[in-house]
């Protein structure tokens, strides 16, 4: 095992009850890396980054996604190096890992429910995966909070294999609600999807995923990293982004 992985495993802490829920249920909601006093600052930084994003980084379907939030400013640098999140990766992935993606996602008012799905199939090459969702706005029952099917990360079939309509309510599903600043950490193989946003306001989040170090990332940070990002982040962040010391940044 490499020295960074050993250091992360030794210094990152995940309470045993939280670790047990993540392993058995498939997801947890805990306090996130953004203190309550800084949530307004995070909200403002989020909106500014979305407005400044290049059209090539914007994807619009049932929600609006802005890709590559690693390079959107210092307000987001602490999100993917959060100790409990890295401890969860150590527990579930169990070997050296890296950040695959980190993006913003806005669920607009009136957006319909997303179909239940998995991010990473249990039989896929490079399994397993840890996903995370940081709540920029509080997640409520009427604004599109994410639903999960507890224990479904331990079965091999997908929602579409057993459901005629994967957007329908599934028996036993639970809602991951929480205050602004909270984080959802989940096994990438759990069935999940956002619910309909029936409120009058957008529901915002920052989400991402960690994968095995040898697997292919969703975004190649070596080619995308900006000089100003590289200059301000520390060694842990560079490790998680899989940036080699010899790799020169590209503008």
Q: Which residues pair with 135 in a beta bridge?
A: 205
Domain positions in the chain: 3-240
CATH number corresponding to 3-240: 2.60.120.620
Q: Evaluate whether 200 touches 163 at the Cβ level (below 8 Å).
A: no
| Cα 77 to Cα 130: distance, rounded to the nearest angstrom | 18
In the block, tokens 């602004």 appear at 180
Segment 172-223, tens digit of pLDDT: 999 999 999 999 999 999 999 999 999 999 999 999 999 999 999 999 888 9
Q: Evaluate whether 41 touches 78 at the Cβ level (below 8 Å).
A: no
Length of the chain equals: 251
How far are the Cα atoms of 18, 38, 102, 198 from residue 186, in angstroms, in the given order? 11, 24, 15, 24
Q: Is the link from the previous residue into 128 a cis peptide, with omega within 30 of 0?
A: yes
Q: Which two tokens stand for residue 113?
A: 């429910």
What's this model's pTM, rounded to 2 decimal places? 0.94
Residue 251 half-sphere exposure, CB side, CA atoms within 13 Å? 0
Segment 146-166, tens digit of pLDDT: 999 999 999 988 898 999 999
Checking if the pLDDT of 8 tops 90, the result is: yes
Assign 244 a pLDDT band (cuts: 50, 70, 90): low
Percent of the chain with pLDDT over 70: 96
């Amino acid at each position: 095992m490499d020295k960074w992985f050993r250091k992360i495993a030794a210094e990152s802490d995940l309470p045993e009850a939280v670790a047990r829920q993540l392993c058995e249920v498939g997801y947890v909601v805990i306090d996130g890396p953004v203190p309550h006093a800084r949530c307004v600052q995070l909200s403002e930084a989020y909106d500014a980054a979305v407005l400044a994003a290049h059209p090539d980084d914007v994807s619009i379907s049932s929600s609006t996604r802005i890709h590559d939030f690693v390079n959107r400013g210092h307000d987001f640098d602490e999100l993917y190096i959060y100790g409990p999140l890295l401890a969860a990766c150590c527990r579930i992935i169990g070997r050296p890992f890296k950040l695959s993606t980190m993006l913003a996602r806005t669920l607009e008012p009136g957006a319909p429910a997303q179909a239940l799905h998995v991010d990473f199939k249990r039989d896929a090459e490079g399994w397993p995966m840890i996903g995370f969702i940081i709540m920029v706005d509080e997640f409520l029952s009427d604004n599109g909070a994410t639903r999960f099917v507890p224990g479904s990360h331990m079965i091999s079939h997908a929602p579409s294999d057993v459901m005629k309509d994967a957007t329908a309510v599934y028996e036993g599903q639970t809602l991951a609600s929480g205050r602004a600043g909270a984080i959802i950490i989940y096994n990438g193989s759990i069935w999940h999807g956002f619910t309909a946003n029936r409120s009058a306001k957008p529901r915002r989040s920052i989400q991402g995923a960690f994968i095995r170090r040898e697997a292919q990332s969703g975004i190649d940070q070596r080619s995308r990293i900006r000089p100003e990002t590289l200059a301000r982040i520390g060694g842990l962040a560079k490790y998680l982004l899989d940036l080699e010391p010899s790799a020169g940044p590209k503008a």
